[in-house]
Amino acid sequence: MRIDKLLGNLGYGTRSEIKKLCKQGAVIVNGKEAKKADQHVDPEEDEILFNGELVNYREFVYLMLNKPAGYISATFDRNDATVLDLIDEKYHAFEPAPVGRLDKDTEGLLIITNDGKLTHRVLSPKKHIPKKYYAIVAGSVNSNDIKAFEKGIDIGEGYTTKPASLEIIGQIDLDDISDEENQEKSEETNINLAGEDVYEIYLTISEGKFHQVKRMFQSVGKEVLYLKRVQMGGLELDESLELGEYRELTDDEIKMLEER
């Protein structure tokens, strides 16, 4: 691999900047100055120093983001902020992308990587990788809904979902929801929460149709007020991550996703 490509991929600068730095003696390969940016090196075998610091090369980057509402699951959007706007620029050189998508108003677990094979593996319909969501739902959720979700839900356009697992956590006391939150949810869903039953649930699905969770509940006469993905395959959202925070996946977490 060429020095300028290697260092550029790691975010050390543009190729023209790296070329200039090489001429200035900033790059050392196996103890010798590398004056030419097009010099080929083996990142697995050669010792490479940049301004005196050892360069640790890696081809892929894997991040776990606790996505906040208000961000688009994309690498670029002309009108809205994207999840990559939350990521430090040092990762941008790897050209990562979100694995799948979460709706703009949905929070929670989102994997961001430049590993195309892993992305394909996780998103492949053949893998049936489960995705678990926590939701707050307006409307009485009961055992009939559990049975209906187990059979699959007609969400319109002639499509019936695959069987899904619905777990009822319990009913929420509206006194626990502030007047401001109540007003916001009412405006978002056109529901007046006064006198409305509100439930907390977990829902696990194995596919990812457009607005699927919301459409499933709409089909049984409920409305999703809040939605957060908490698990994908065996990977659980790190509870220590605040909204908008992220961290790199551990080797064990990466291996777990690769073996799904």
pLDDT above 90 covers what percent of the chain? 75
In a domain, residue 137? The reply is: yes
Mean of pLDDT values over 149-169: 96
pLDDT of residue 56: 85
Cα–Cα distance, 147 to 153 (Å, whole number) = 10
pTM summary value: 0.83
Instruction: Please answer whether residues 220 and 141 qualify as being in contact, where contact means their C-beta atoms are separated by less than 8 angstroms.
Output: no
141 domain residue, yes or no: yes
Position 110 in a domain: yes
- Evaluate whether residue 254 is within a structural domain: no
Question: How much is the pLDDT for 29?
Answer: 96
Write down the pLDDT at residue 12.
87
Q: Are 192 and 152 in a shared domain?
A: yes
Catalytic site residue from 77, 80, 85, 103 = 103
| Res 164: pLDDT | 98
Tell me what the mean pLDDT of segment 185-191 comes to: 50
181 pLDDT exceeds 90?
Answer: no
Report the pLDDT value the prediction gives residue 112, as an integer from 0 to 100. 98
In a domain, 159, yes or no: yes
Same-domain status, 191 and 96:
yes
Q: Please give the pLDDT value at position 208.
A: 87
Q: Is 207 within a domain?
A: yes
Same domain, 29 and 128: no
Check whether residue 94 and residue 123 sit in a common domain.
yes
In the structure, what pLDDT confidence band is assigned to residue 191 with cuts at 50, 70 and 90?
A: low
Write out the residue range of the structural domain in which residue 21 sits: 3-54
What is the pLDDT of the chain when averaged over all its residues? 91
Per-residue pLDDT, averaged over 189-193, amounts to 55
Does residue 76 share a domain with residue 194? yes
Domain assignment present for 112? yes
Residues 133, 33, single domain; the answer is no
Residue range 69-120, pLDDT digits in tens: 999 999 999 999 999 999 998 888 789 999 999 999 999 999 999 999 999 9
> What is the average pLDDT across 231-242?
96
**Catalytic annotation present for 179:** no
**Residue 193 pLDDT grade (very low, low, confident, very high; cuts 50, 70, 90):** low
Residue 237: inside a domain: yes
Q: Same domain, yes or no, for 44 and 74?
A: no
Query: Does residue 182 register a pLDDT over 60?
Result: no
* pLDDT at 260 > cutoff 80: no
Q: What is the mean pLDDT of residues 203-224?
A: 95
Q: How many structural domains comprise the chain?
A: 2
**Owner of token pair 């929801």:** 177
Residue 48 and residue 140 in one domain:
no
Please check the confidence at residue 258 and state whether its pLDDT lies above 80. Answer: yes
